[in-house]
Amino acid sequence: MTLPATPSFRLDGRRALVTGAGRGIGLAAAAALAEAGAAVTLVARSAGEVEAAATSMPDADWAVLDVSDLEAVAAFFAERSAYSILVNNAGTNRPKPLWEVTPDDYDAVLDLNLRAAFFVAQAAAKAMLRDAVQGSLIHMGSQMGHVGGPNRSLYCASKWGLEGMSKAFALDLAPRGIRSNTIASTFIETPLTRPFFEDAAFKASVLAKIKLGRLGRVEDLMGAVLFLASDASGLMTGTSLVVDGGWTAE
């Protein structure tokens, strides 16, 4: 009897790009891909952290790229061979009640979380089409792209937008063998989020919603990134992998 073989999680021979890769979730995503054999390019707005991270990984390089600079994004992808994996990770947040949100807040959050994510993915996809490369676009969404949250009007708007964007990308790109999915995580403790958890009341409110009873760690997302990047998820596109400890189950 011949048993079916599990599709490989290995990424040998594939090239991957991770944005916002200097720390936190982006760094963990890059490490997961590198461990699985991908040649990873780490990008961020400044050199220090991504340079140090890239030297710690096999077959990795780095580049300075401000993903909100659309001309720089277009030039970056035009100058390089296509990547078969994109982790669209760069993002920000300005939590406050909706009545305190300013146009500057709106522009800061939506421009990075949605506008820049759109055009980075577009540029990556155009390069894949140009070079006839199949692969996977992975967008770092949030549980807040599936539910609402107090003081999260801008963040929710950007992450719900990312979900719709990814579904439409999936439909456009499926005939070319390019998949598009999101990872929707709960609160992950990173250098960006750690200061918020110094507020004991806020931390308690978060833990009350995470049914597994703890904050997320970047390691909790590494398997999800690897899964969506690899052949193991070969029939998944236009959907969201929710890693939220049960937050959205209630």
Using an 8 Å Cβ cutoff, are 145 and 243 in contact?
Answer: no
Residue entry with tokens 């992998």: 241
Active site residue 106: no
Helix (H/G/I), strand (E/B), else coil: 210: coil
Using an 8 Å Cβ cutoff, are 90 and 65 in contact?
Answer: no
**CA 104 to each of CA 94, 109, 119, 140, 154: distance values in angstroms, whole numbers, following the listed order:** 10, 9, 20, 23, 11
Supply the angle between the helices 47-55 and 24-35 in degrees, to the nearest 10. 20
Using an 8 Å Cβ cutoff, are 9 and 234 in contact?
Answer: no
DSSP 8-state code for residue 59: T
| Candidate list 155, 160, 187, 227, residue with the active-site label | 155
Contacts of 250 (CB under 8 A, 6+ apart): 209, 211
Give the pairing type, strands 240-243 and 85-88: unpaired
Report how far residue 50's alpha carbon sits from residue 172's, in angstroms, rounded to the nearest whole number: 32
Using an 8 Å Cβ cutoff, are 142 and 166 in contact?
Answer: no
Catalytic residues: 155
